[in-house]
Structure 1
Amino acid sequence: MNAPRQGLFASLLIVSFAFHTFLLVLATTHQLNENRASQGQLITSQLVTDSLTELEPANRVSLALLANRYATNPSVASIRILDANAQVLATGGLTKTREGEVFVRDALQNEKKVGIIEITLIEPSIGEILRTQWIAILCSLIFHALLWLAYRAIARPSRTEYLARINNESRLKFEIQTLTQALEQEKHNAALTIAQAQQAAQNKAKAQEEKAPVSEKPTLSLNIQYYDPKQLLDSVNKTVSVPYFNLCQIFLNKATELCLQHYKLNSSDIWTLHKFDEKGASISICSEKPNALACLTMISSVFQLLSEVLYKRYREEKRFVLQTRSAIACPIEEMQLSSSQAAERLVQQLVAKESALHVPNTLLKEIADHFELISMPNPTNVLTRHAFVFNGMDAATAELAQTFRTEILKSKQSKAS
């Protein structure tokens, strides 16, 4: 059982020992500097006093003996005695090449300069200071080592504390494992619930298609999908996407209602196969009804206008929005596709704001005078080979679509206010 955080405490002790050694060297250096200054001034004054009688006139032998006598001081690196003209009269010192602090003083006799005394005192290096203070440094090291041993002895947990910590860690580990298993089980249950809900929705959609009142009659289907090349729908939260889908469904319902009234059709003549979600929406109408294709085409045009208005407004408000594309199709026996399946495949060949059409030539005559149609470029199968892309509409049809769009937007604004 080791003491807690031994490594951190050891690092602190190492830093403390280094800092203590630094302070010790700093204090010793400061004390030596002060002592050297006092000693330099004292030796210089004494040498000036002793050499005055030998400087005028200059006695080189006596001055040399005097310099050698003062040079026996271990603190003296070198001594130079000069005359008034800075000519060297005598030198002394055993370590003349050693650097140090230089003390210079003029020798005055009767207020006349008769010479110059120059003494260099040795300035000890860091290594010399450490050698002189090795006892203090060793004591500091022993003190820090004792602190380390004392910490290991005092901070080491008792057996009871150690067992309690082990039990606590085991309990926490067990609780974490339990929570992890519960979370995994909850995720599994949520995934299972979502899968069951999706399966139920698919079964319900299939049942609605099978129970459609006009299932045995020829139908036309309108499929509207979002143009999402960057796959933004996969990254949007449901709290954002679901209200957006609901708003698109409201626009589709309003457009369908107005177009049915205009073309004098009943609400039972058209039915919803799939409401708006991330895959779009789909509606169908019996092709034998009068103006069925014109009604479905007008619904597509009005919804595209509403979608464009919604796209511009939401983009200005920096809200989530996507552009749409739509297609109208009839059943294709060669490909064994129903009208809704054909429309869903056809719309995937389009880009934003485009609308396409695949119907028999007999039905094309109903809208040929009102809409400009062009062949779909680069056809690859029967569906795209006989399909047309809307390229415009005449003034009367465009005005009617604009009127429906304005009426729906006004009703939406009035409800919002």
Structure 2
Amino acid sequence: MNAPRQGLFASLLIISFALQAFLLVLATTYQLKENRANQGQLMTSQLVADGLQEMSPPNTVSLALIANRYSSNPSVASIRILGMNNDVLATSGLQQTRTGEVFSRDALQNEKKVGRVEITLVKPSIGEILRTEWLAIVLSFFLHVILWLAYRVIARPSRTEYIQRIQHEMQLKNEIQSLTEALEQEKQKNIELVTQQDMPKSKVFNAEQVLDNTQAKDLNKSQIALNIQFYDPKQLLNSVSQSVATSHFNLCQIFLNKSIALCAQHYQIPTSTISIEEEFNAQGATICITTDKPKAATCLLMISTVFQLLSEVLYKRYREEKRFVLQTRCGISNAVDEMQLEAPQAASRLCQLLSAKESAVHLDHAMLKSVNDCYQLVALPSPTNVLTRHAFMINGMNTPCAVIAQKLRTEILKGKKTTT
């Protein structure tokens, strides 16, 4: 049981140690520079005072002895005493070849220049500074090591938390496994249904409940449509094989089918009023519901909500397993006569304006009033036409509807079968 994000915390500690060492060297360099400036001014003043009487007339022996006395200081690289014509009277220093900071001062006698002294003080290198500050750097290193060890102990999850995480991962894995098995069963059931009824390429929900698309059109009733599209800004669908994409489409279709069945049962709406206009493909899926039932719009929004919850479970699980998966978005709309758009076309166009996990609705006043009690609606930003001016984003739902959606989601993930 490792602590979370150990690598990130270790990187932060490394950066902190490097920054602390840099600031320590920087502060030491600045302090040494200040001390060197004070020392250089003081030593030149004293050297001028001690050697002034020996410069006029020049006494090179005495000046050499004075220079040697000052050069015994380890911070002094070299000393030069010059006459009034800049001729060298005396030199001294144990490190005359070493560069450093030069301090000079004129020797004045009765306000007349009789000479000049120059003292070069050693300027320590970065290596020398590090050697003087090695103890502080080592202590800082051990402090960061202690912080690293403490983080591993403190941030490590408890046994209970670790077990809960493992159980959650196993639960998600079992849910995806059950959905995959359901996919295979659904495929087999569709094959048997097509064989029995001899209706190739027909789009049915199941053998007992689904209304054929052609029959739905013949009813010539008002409809509202739910369009579900994949949110794929990086065009990942174009980079995967057809078999991988088809498998993902089929799994999403199972989610949608089960969402339709449970939501229709909950709102006591016959599934014959719901038709699948387009099954899942690269462009998404579309279903329609006739509006002759009082709760038709509420049922369609619940189908959208439950499907979005299932899609998010699938997205999180497949992302953990590094498998192909896409997030979805939903648009619900009735026909828009002003733009000559039927309900499926309007829902598709509305869906294209959304991002991942977002949903939007465009309904007439009566249906909008019926769903407004359950869902929190906000106006669509930056409307450009009749469709977007009268459309609303779904920004939340009340507690009873949220409980229902979570319950239906859980039933689908647990593989419970619905009754007709």
Q: Report the TM-score, using the length of structure 2 for normalisation.
A: 0.48
Q: Which has the larger radius of gyration?
A: 1
